Amino acid sequence: MYRYDEFDQTFVTQRVEQFREQVARRISGELSEDEFKPLRLMNGLYLQLHAYMLRVAIPYGTLSSRQLRQLGYIARKYDRGYGHFTTRQNIQFNWPTLGDTPDILADLAAVEMHAIQTSGNCIRNTTADATAGVAADEIADSRVYCEIIRQWSTLHPEFSFLPRKFKVAVTGAPGDRAVTAAHDIGLRMVRNDIGEIGFEVLVGGGQGRTPILAVTIREFLPAEHLLSYLEAVLRVYNQLGRRDNIYKARIKILVRETGTEEFARLVEEEWVHIRDSELKLPEDEIARIHAYFAPPAYEVLDATCPELDVQRAGNRAFDAWVRSNVEAHKQPGYAIATVSLKPHGGIPGDASAEQMERVADLADRYGFGEVRVSYKQNLLLPDLRQRDLFAVWQELTSAGLATANSHKLSDIIACPGLDYCNLANARSIPIAQMISTRFADLEREQEIGNVTVNISGCINACAHHHVANIGILGVDKKGKEFYQVTLGGAADQNAAIGDIVGPAFDEDQIVGAVETVVDVYLEKRTGSDEPFIDTYRRIGIKPFKEKLYATH
């Protein structure tokens, strides 16, 4: 994985000192809260309902075991012993004090981490496929380009005060696990006719109150032009994006109002001037970054592991975990395992300091010391020998991290909601807990199969409810929490925005409503090999609507 050199280390260290001085000016009263706000936001520090919240960047969701241990240390020393992994592959600490934050940033810098641009109207942490570099279906390793984007976008002088926040996602595989269609810029790695690596460039995706899927403005961008093209898109947006209305300030509105073709023309027009500037990536620079992501020293193993087959045959719980939580690895004899942060009835994405340390230890003992964070708010151990899976599973089980529900109904994405967030209209976490408790029977979950359930506590859609198979949005009606249901959304390569099913449900009805939706699916599906989304696409919303509102 990437390692800081003297430049990176000096940069984050100087950033810490700068923020330490800014905090001191705030505490002394020289800076008002209004003036301090953009400074703290640029360092990921929010003022939430009850306390400050610090959002730490985990660039492209990649962590070393040492970094994960340090996050555990921070959780214990400055917080209440836990952290919350987010849909943007970041981690949030919910209870730091203002005075402690410079020290936390220093502790992060010591392990090559930072909180730069995890908030504010700037280019945020790049979203990546959590299985980049190890996925069996990969065209190229997207981490290389995510790191190049990270460096280019860090304290970019021109793009630190954009109309609104700006998110980039990169996928290196045809199977899209980075939700590229729902980002301001989505980059899909492709090969052209002569085998060169490049990007299909999409712009204008986003969720929030106006969900829009990104549109393609360039079919093939040679990799060497990545930064100049991004700079051209950002320059057009910075000048023309709306600043009069926060709800219309994202690039998706500009693209929609300008028209895709005209927007693409504006970008190309700008790009012509800068494509051969200093931003052009020399081959040796790409190679230099690439070298950091060289594969670890894999053993030469058989693709199949008889030992594993025996273990699976002898233990139903383990077998269920392998079926749902283990995925194909590009290296024969290896596997990728999801460490579930979704225990039934638990808080999606939360991990205790002890759990972080346990996972870090497992990564060191079994997996080359690397851990990934997925946008689904789980952790991944990306490099496990298949023959070690049983031992890893046993240890995860003892740490409460082996729920066999990856991709299943209780693998719910939820934002912090009204329990923490001052934007929220309704609670998300308790709803997620109620639903996952209702579906806690693993056999039933396996029977239902793969389905995504995402719960956002307000229209900002942090939990991506628009692109969930079953999306739930918390709304406030005269001081009471209600939950609106959307069906048919998808976040993968066939991304779709869900359809609103009808009037919202109250807190007592919402779990039953989800169950009704599942019942309709089970009744209508052609067989257990037809997942929820396929059935929905075949039969449409009507049968669900009829059943939902007939019973209420």
Partner 1 sequence: MPLIKNGAAVQDPWFAATTEADLDRSGPLLVTLELWQQHRDRLVGRVGPLGVRLASAQSPGLIAADLDRLDLVALEFPKFTDGRAYSYARLLRERHGFTGEVRAVGHVLRDQIAFMLRCGFDALDVDERAAGGWQSATTAFSAWYQPATDAQAPISARRRYAVPARASQSVIRSEPVRVADAAELAVCAATWAY
Binding interface with partner 1 (CB under 8 A): 1, 5-7, 9-11, 13-18, 21-22, 30, 35, 38-39, 64-66, 69-70, 73, 77, 103, 106-107, 109-111, 121, 151-162, 227, 235, 238-239, 243, 273, 277-279, 282, 285, 288, 294, 296-297, 364-366, 368-370
Contact 127, 169 (CB under 8 A): yes
Tokens of 167: 């998110």
Contact 93, 83 (CB under 8 A): yes
Write b or e for each residue in 171-196: b if 16 or more Cβ atoms lie within 10 A of its Cβ, otherwise e.
Answer: bbbeebbbbbbbbbbbbbbbeeeeee
Shortest Å distance, C-beta 339 to partner 1? 17
Shortest Å distance, C-beta 366 to partner 1? 8
Task: Name the one residue in this structure whose structure tokens are 């700008």.
Answer: 270
Q: Select 14 or 398, whichever has its Cβ closest to partner 1.
A: 14
Q: Select 365 or 552, whichever has its Cβ closest to partner 1.
A: 365
3-class state of residue 490 by DSSP: strand
What span, in angstroms and rounded, lies between the C-alpha atoms of 330 and 464?
Answer: 29
Shortest Å distance, C-beta 117 to partner 1? 12
Contact 36, 27 (CB under 8 A): no
Shortest Å distance, C-beta 39 to partner 1? 6
Q: Select 88 or 235, whichever has its Cβ closest to partner 1.
A: 235
Distance of CA 70 to the CA centre of its chain: 21
Contact 493, 174 (CB under 8 A): yes
Shortest Å distance, C-beta 326 to partner 1? 21
Q: Select 8 or 419, whichever has its Cβ closest to partner 1.
A: 8
Shortest Å distance, C-beta 158 to partner 1? 4
What DSSP assignment string belongs to 466-527?
GGSSEEEEEEEETTEEEEEEEES-B-STT-BPPEE-SS-EETTTHHHHHHHHHHHHHHH-SS
Residue type, 180: T
Phi, psi dihedral angles at 489 (to 5 degrees): -75, 160
Q: Select 295 or 306, whichever has its Cβ closest to partner 1.
A: 295
Shortest Å distance, C-beta 350 to partner 1? 22
DSSP 8-state code for residue 31: S
Residue type, 313: A
Q: Select 28 or 526, whichever has its Cβ closest to partner 1.
A: 28
Contact 349, 298 (CB under 8 A): no
Q: Select 96 or 498, whichever has its Cβ closest to partner 1.
A: 96
Shortest Å distance, C-beta 540 to partner 1? 44
Sequence-separated (6 or more) residues with CB below 8 Å from residue 493: 174, 175, 176
Q: Select 7 or 526, whichever has its Cβ closest to partner 1.
A: 7
Measuring CA to CA, how many Å separate 86 from each of 93, 239, 347? 11, 31, 12
Q: Select 380 or 453, whichever has its Cβ closest to partner 1.
A: 380
Shortest Å distance, C-beta 497 to partner 1? 30
What span, in angstroms and rounded, lies between the C-alpha atoms of 182 and 210?
Answer: 11
Q: Select 357 or 481, whichever has its Cβ closest to partner 1.
A: 357
Shortest Å distance, C-beta 100 to partner 1? 12
Tokens of 369: 């010391």
Q: Select 31 or 49, whichever has its Cβ closest to partner 1.
A: 31
Q: Select 27 or 294, whichever has its Cβ closest to partner 1.
A: 294
Contact 341, 412 (CB under 8 A): no
What span, in angstroms and rounded, lies between the C-alpha atoms of 552 and 547?
Answer: 9
Measuring CA to CA, how many Å separate 43 from each of 86, 126, 443? 17, 16, 44
3-class state of residue 216 by DSSP: strand
Write b or e for each residue in 331-340: b if 16 or more Cβ atoms lie within 10 A of its Cβ, otherwise e.
Answer: bebbbbbbbb
Sequence-separated (6 or more) residues with CB below 8 Å from residue 334: 134, 298, 301, 383, 384, 385, 386
Shortest Å distance, C-beta 399 to partner 1? 17
Shortest Å distance, C-beta 364 to partner 1? 5
Q: Select 9 or 315, whichever has its Cβ closest to partner 1.
A: 9
Strands 334-339 and 326-328, bridge-based pairing? antiparallel
Measuring CA to CA, how many Å separate 471 from each of 187, 309, 326, 429, 500? 25, 37, 25, 14, 9
What span, in angstroms and rounded, lies between the C-alpha atoms of 126 and 57?
Answer: 9
